[in-house]
């Protein structure tokens, strides 16, 4: 098993920035998977990430309904020059309810709130968390372009959009990145948006690159999920689908063993091999897992191993949708 922490990380490009080839998704520190870690644990994780050379930190107004941005602002005070800061707008908490709102005035107001919480005067990459389909994408991106001109943000990203929507947005203002779910068990970016990103020079930021924990083969008993864990509502994690999907992991274990890596590192190395504009952002609350993830940069998979992963995890092999019906209707991604 490869557990050597990375000390000098390779980089990839997001807009005008060179960032570590694996970033850190910060959602887990405040949101989505049950009880968040104690403040001291979150601080230790963030500081260890910076010490390892992680230079892309990703948060959002939604996470913890502003709490995640506040956490980063507080815990990383005085260290702003050590990382590229990515956050998101267009989906946030309003009176305790998650709301998608891409109106220009809302985007601009959310940005001001985020800047205050993050204790910074500029956000490096500001992403539209969801396209509000009641608002033309051109209008939402136009508001983001206004924020660039005002010096509030440095570059623009989109999340969970199709290639068609990306191209419409890019016609208004250059798009530096698209962020969507991508891993061996979520292959839909390969339909079109990965190529569209390459064509326009945008990075592709892959969230949930280890399948919300599934691809680590540590999600064994669904009954242990916290009542607030978002995976409870995801069809792939239903009892029937989870059992069928775990059968796929039995075919990945020998590949990881032959490569001398963990299953998490196998997925991350697979992602990094797909294209040079892909940047995974695994999230974790564990320093041990953080170090394991970063050590994936030392893993090299052979062409035969990559082809074997592709075969095992081919589109259609995984049972169940990645979102519930309502949440699936909120995204704009191509689907197999």
Among this protein's residues, is 63 annotated catalytic?
yes
Quote the CA–CA distance of 246 and 259 in Å, as a whole number: 20
Quote the CA–CA distance of 72 and 77 in Å, as a whole number: 8
Residue 80: Cβ within 10 Å count: 16
- Given 33, 63, 83, 182, which residue is catalytic? 63
Distances 168 to 148, 158, 201 between C-alpha atoms, Å: 18, 12, 15
Write the CB contacts of 131 (distance below 8 Å, at least 6 apart in sequence): 90, 102, 137, 140, 158, 160, 161, 165, 332
**β-pairing verdict for 97-100 and 177-181:** unpaired
Sign of CA dihedral 119, 281, 329, 142: positive
3-state helix vs strand vs coil in the chain, percent to 5:
45, 15, 40
The answer to whether 165 touches 139, Cβ cutoff 8 Å, is no
**Strands (E) located in 182-315:** 203-207, 278-280
CA terminus-to-terminus distance, the chain? 34
Task: Determine if residue 184 is left, alpha or beta; phi over 0 gives left, psi from -120 to 50 gives alpha, anything else beta.
Answer: alpha
Residues known to be catalytic: 63
């Amino acid at each position: 098993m490869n557990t050597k922490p990375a000390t000098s990380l390779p980089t990839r490009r997001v807009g005008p920035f060179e960032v570590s080839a694996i970033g850190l998704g910060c959602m887990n520190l405040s949101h989505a998977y049950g009880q968040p870690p104690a403040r001291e644990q979150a601080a230790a994780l963030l500081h260890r990430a910076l010490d390892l050379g992680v230079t892309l930190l990703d948060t959002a107004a939604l996470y913890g309904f502003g709490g995640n941005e506040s956490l980063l602002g507080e815990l990383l005070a005085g260290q702003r020059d050590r990382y590229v800061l990515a956050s998101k707008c267009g989906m946030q908490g309003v009176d305790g309810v998650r709301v998608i709102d891409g109106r220009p005035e809302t985007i601009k107001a959310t940005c001001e709130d985020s800047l205050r919480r993050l204790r910074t005067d500029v956000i490096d990459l500001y992403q539209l968390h969801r396209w509000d389909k009641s608002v033309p994408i051109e209008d939402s991106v136009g508001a983001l372009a206004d924020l660039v001109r005002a010096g509030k943000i440095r570059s623009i990203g989109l999340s969970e959009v199709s290639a068609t929507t990306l191209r419409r947005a890019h016609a208004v203002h250059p798009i530096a990145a698209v962020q969507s779910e991508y891993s061996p068990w979520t292959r839909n970016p390969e339909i079109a948006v990965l190529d569209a990103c390459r064509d326009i020079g945008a990075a592709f930021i892959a969230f949930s690159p280890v399948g919300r924990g599934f691809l680590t083969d540590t999600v064994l008993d669904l009954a242990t999920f916290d009542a607030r864990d978002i995976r409870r509502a995801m069809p792939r994690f239903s009892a029937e689908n989870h059992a069928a999907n775990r059968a796929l992991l039995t075919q990945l274990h020998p590949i990881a063993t032959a490569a001398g890596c963990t299953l998490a590192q196998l997925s991350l190395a697979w992602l990094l091999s797909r294209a040079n504009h892909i940047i995974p952002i695994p999230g974790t609350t564990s320093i041990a897992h953080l170090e394991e993830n970063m050590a994936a940069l030392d893993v090299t998979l052979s062409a035969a191993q990559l082809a074997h992963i592709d075969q095992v995890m081919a589109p259609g092999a995984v049972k169940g949708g990645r979102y519930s019906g309502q949440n699936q209707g909120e995204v704009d991604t191509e689907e197999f």
